[in-house]
C-alpha cells in the first residue's frame, strides 16, 4: 500500500496600505495669510491669498473618490464676521478682515458651530492601488475698509487655532457646509499685516507782511502740521533755507531772519541736536500742530522789494 502525503502550503497576502481603516486628510504645516506691509495713509482695501498644502491617505477598501473640506475657525478674539487683526501690543484699534473661498470675496470661510460654516472643497482622487494623495487649496484674505485713522504702527495678527479638515467619502464635489464629513485634522491659520512708521507733513507760509524802510524788527508765525502713524515717535527740524544762512533774498539784496520754537524767540529751531521739536503720532487721521515763531531783524540798509526764502521741514521718525 502506498502512502500519499498531502502538503498544504499557507498563502499569505499583505496589503500595507490596508492598515489604514479610513480616509484621513491633514493640513501640512501652519499656513500664514500675509497682507504684507500696508501704508496707513493709503489704507484699505487690501487683499492677499495663501496656499494651503494638504495630504490624504485611505485604506485598501476605502472610497477612491472623496471631498476634503477645509474650514477656518474663529480668530483668537472669538470673531468670525468679521475676524480681527490685533496689534501685538494689544492696544486698539484692531483691524477687521476676513477669509474667503474665492478671489471675488463673496463667501466667508467658517466652521461648523460658527457664525458661518462654509468650507473650501477639494476633490481627492486615490484610484485603485493608490493610497495617498496631496495637493493645494487657496484661501483669499481681504481687509475690506480703509484703515482706522488711529491705526498703530506695528504688526497686527490673528490666530485661527483649531481650524478643521473634514472628509466626505464616496464622491467628488460634495457640500462643505453644515458640519459635513468627519474631522480628521485640526490646524492653525495665521493672518498678519504690518503697519510701518509713516509720517506726512504740511505747513503754512511765514509771512512778515509789508514793512517800511529802513527795516525795523518784525515778528510773524506759521504752522507745521505733522501726521504720523499711531505710536510713531518723531522729531521736526527746520533747515537753514536755500542760502544756508537764513536770509531772504531779493536779487542780490538780503535781509536776515531767524526761526524759534517759543514765543519769546529765545530757543532756535534748527536741525541740530536740541534744536528740534518732538512728538508721538496719533494716527493718519490726526495731525499734530507746531507753531514756528519767526523774526526778521532790523536793517537800516535794506532795499525796497519783495524778499523770500524756502525752508525745508525735516521730519525724522
- pLDDT given at position 8: 35
Q: Which domains can be identified in the chain, with CATH numbers?
A: 16-194 (2.60.40), 199-316 (2.60.40.1090)
pLDDT at 167: 97
State mean pLDDT over 55-64: 96
Q: Which residue has the cell 460634495?
A: 174
- Asked if residue 164 lies in contact with residue 185, where contact means CB atoms within 8 angstroms, the answer is yes
pLDDT on residue 93: 96
- Tell me the three-class secondary structure of the chain, residue by residue: CCCCCCCCCCCCCCCHHHHCCCCEEEECCCCEEEEEECCCCCCCCEEEEEEEEEEEECCCCCCCEEEEEECCCCCCCCCCCCEEEEECCCCCCCEEEEEECCCCCCCECCCCCCCCCCCEEEEEECCCCCCEEEEEEEEEEEECCCCCCCCECCEEEEEEEEEEEEEECCCCCCCCCCCCCEEEEEEEEEEEEECCCCEEEEECCCCCCCCCCCECCEEEEEEEEEEECECCEEEEEECCCCCCCCEEEECCEEEEEEEECCCCCCCECCCCCCCCEEEECCCCCCCEEEEEEEEECCECCCCCCCCECCCCEEEEC
Q: Is residue 185 over pLDDT 50? A: yes
Q: What mean pLDDT value characterizes the chain?
A: 93
Q: Give Cβ neighbours of residue 161 (< 8 Å, ≥ 6 apart).
A: 73, 76, 188
Pick the range with the lowest mean pLDDT from 11-20, 50-59, 212-221, 271-280.
11-20
Residue 112 confidence (pLDDT) above 80: yes
What's the pLDDT tens digit per position in 211-223?
999 999 999 999 9
- CA pair distance 193, 185, nearest whole angstrom: 27
Task: For CA atoms 110, 111, 116, 122, give the dihedral sign.
Answer: positive
The rounded distance, in Å, linking the Cα atoms of 129 and 149 is 59
Say if residue 12's pLDDT is above 70: no
Per-residue pLDDT tens over the stretch 249-300:
999 999 999 999 999 999 999 999 999 999 999 999 999 999 999 999 999 9
Q: What is the pLDDT of residue 7?
A: 36
Nearest to 207 by CA among 194, 220, 198: 220
Residue bearing cell 483669499: 140
User: Mean pLDDT across the stretch 172-186?
Assistant: 92
pLDDT at 242 > cutoff 70: yes
pLDDT of 43 reads: 81
Predicted structure pTM score: 0.84
What pLDDT score does 180 carry?
78
On the question of pLDDT at 36 being above 80, the answer is yes
Alpha-carbon distance 174 to 191, whole Å?
A: 28
Arithmetic mean of pLDDT, 183-200: 98
Mean pLDDT of 155-162: 98
Q: Of residues 11 and 111, which shows the higher confidence score?
A: 111
Q: What percentage of residues in the chain have a pLDDT greater than 90?
A: 91
143 vs 15: which has the higher pLDDT:
143
Amino acid at each position: 500500500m502506498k502512502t500519499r502525503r498531502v502538503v498544504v502550503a499557507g498563502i499569505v497576502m499583505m496589503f500595507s496600505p490596508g492598515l489604514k481603516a479610513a480616509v484621513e486628510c491633514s493640513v501640512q504645516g501652519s499656513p500664514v495669510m500675509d497682507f504684507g506691509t500696508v501704508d496707513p495713509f493709503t489704507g484699505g482695501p487690501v487683499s492677499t491669498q495663501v496656499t494651503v498644502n494638504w495630504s490624504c491617505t485611505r485604506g485598501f477598501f476605502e472610497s477612491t473618490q472623496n471631498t476634503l473640506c477645509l474650514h477656518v475657525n474663529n480668530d483668537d478674539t472669538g470673531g468670525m464676521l468679521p475676524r480681527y487683526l490685533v496689534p501685538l501690543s494689544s492696544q486698539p484699534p484692531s483691524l477687521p478682515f476676513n477669509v474667503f473661498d474665492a478671489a471675488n470675496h463673496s463667501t466667508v470661510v467658517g466652521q461648523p458651530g460658527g457664525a458661518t460654516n462654509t468650507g473650501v472643497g477639494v476633490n481627492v482622487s486615490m484610484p485603485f492601488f493608490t493610497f495617498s494623495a496631496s495637493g493645494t487649496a487657496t484661501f483669499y484674505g481681504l481687509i475690506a475698509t480703509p484703515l482706522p485713522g488711529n491705526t498703530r504702527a506695528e504688526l497686527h495678527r490673528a490666530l485661527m487655532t483649531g481650524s478643521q479638515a473634514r472628509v466626505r467619502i464616496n464622491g467628488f464635489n460634495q457640500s462643505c457646509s453644515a458640519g459635513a464629513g468627519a474631522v480628521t485634522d485640526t490646524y492653525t491659520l495665521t493672518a498678519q499685516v504690518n503697519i510701518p512708521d509713516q509720517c506726512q507733513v504740511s505747513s503754512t507760509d511765514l509771512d512778515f507782511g509789508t514793512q517800511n524802510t529802513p527795516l525795523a524788527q518784525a515778528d510773524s508765525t506759521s504752522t507745521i502740521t505733522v501726521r504720523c502713524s499711531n505710536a510713531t515717535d518723531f522729531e521736526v527740524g527746520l533747515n537753514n533755507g536755500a542760502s544756508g544762512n537764513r536770509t531772504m533774498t531779493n536779487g542780490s539784496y538780503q535781509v536776515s531772519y531767524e526761526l524759534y520754537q517759543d514765543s519769546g524767540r529765545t530757543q532756535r529751531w534748527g536741525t541740530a541736536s536740541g534744536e528740534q521739536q518732538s512728538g508721538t503720532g496719533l494716527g493718519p487721521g490726526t495731525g499734530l500742530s507746531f507753531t514756528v515763531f519767526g523774526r526778521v531783524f532790523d536793517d537800516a540798509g535794506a532795499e525796497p522789494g519783495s524778499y523770500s526764502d524756502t525752508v525745508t521741514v525735516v521730519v525724522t521718525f
